[in-house]
Amino acid sequence: MQEQLAKAQQELAGQEFQGSAGGGMVTAIVTGDHQLKEVRISPDVVDPNDVEMLEDLVVAAVRQAMEAAGEAANSQLGGLAGGLLG
């Protein structure tokens, strides 16, 4: 059982999950083991007079990507972990 769980975790870590905000103006990519891999920001959303909005969009995109990775982990590992994953 532990070998199956380790293999499933390794496979999940190799997957990528995407989140976006601002209608796709900010996109975040995370791996299945919740490592932030990439953030893409459209030049159209960069406004030096409104940095706070850009910060909020980045946070929202990363949060969405992390949630997608967490849902995949629960789906793929939930049965193997016997409910240990939150």
Domains of the chain (ranges, CATH numbers): 2-81 (3.30.1310.10)
pLDDT reported for residue 6 = 81
Sheet with 36-41: list strands edge to edge.
16-21, 26-31, 36-41
Distance from C-alpha of 77 to C-alpha of 86, rounded to nearest angstrom = 11
* pTM recorded for the entire structure: 0.78
pLDDT above 70 covers what percent of the chain?
A: 90
pLDDT reported for residue 85 = 47
DSSP string across 10-71:
HHHHT-EEEEEETTTTEEEEEETT--EEEEEE-GGG--TT-HHHHHHHHHHHHHHHHHHHHH
pLDDT tens digit sequence for 8-45: 888 888 899 999 999 999 999 999 888 999 999 999 99
